């Protein structure tokens, strides 16, 4: 059983983690347009899509990157971070979840 109060659904339907509020001292990630002709890669982790922006950690060709999807005016706008080694990408993914990177 669930019910709606305002725009919140109780109990929540979210099954993925949410990104914490951005910290004042956060690292600024560089966001690029998706590379054309590149395979999709494998989604390793993701955040909940119940907010305007959600993120995915992608593995592709021995590297990892973060894909950001923002919903604007009913359309999805997708950007991708630079490509990093697994160790660096995993650290930045954790920083993103804790609000220490955007």
For the cut 50, the answer to whether the pLDDT of residue 86 exceeds it is: yes
* CA separation for the pair 69, 6 (Å, rounded): 24
Tell which residue, 46, 1, 37, 39, has the closest CA to residue 19: 46
Question: Can you give the residue ranges of every domain in the chain?
Answer: 16-97
Task: Determine the 3-state secondary structure of 83 from DSSP.
Answer: coil
Residue-level pLDDT at 87: 97
Asked if the model's pLDDT at residue 1 lies above 50, the reply is: no
Task: Render pLDDT for 23-49 as a digit per residue (tens, 0 to 9).
Answer: 888 889 999 999 999 998 999 999 998
pLDDT band at 50 (very low <50, low <70, confident <90, very high): confident
pLDDT at 4 exceeding the cut of 60: no
For residue 16, pLDDT beyond 90: no
Residue 57 pLDDT grade (very low, low, confident, very high; cuts 50, 70, 90):
very high
């Amino acid at each position: 059983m669930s019910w709606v109060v305002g725009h919140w659904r109780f109990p929540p339907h979210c099954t993925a983690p949410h990104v914490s509020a951005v910290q004042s001292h956060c690292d600024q990630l560089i966001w690029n347009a998706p590379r054309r002709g590149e395979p999709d890669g494998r989604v390793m982790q993701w955040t909940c899509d119940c907010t305007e922006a959600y993120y995915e950690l992608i593995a592709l060709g021995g590297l990892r990157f973060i894909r950001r999807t923002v919903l604007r005016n009913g359309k999805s706008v997708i950007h991708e971070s630079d490509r990093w080694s697994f160790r660096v990408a995993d650290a930045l993914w954790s920083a993103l979840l804790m609000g220490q990177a955007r």
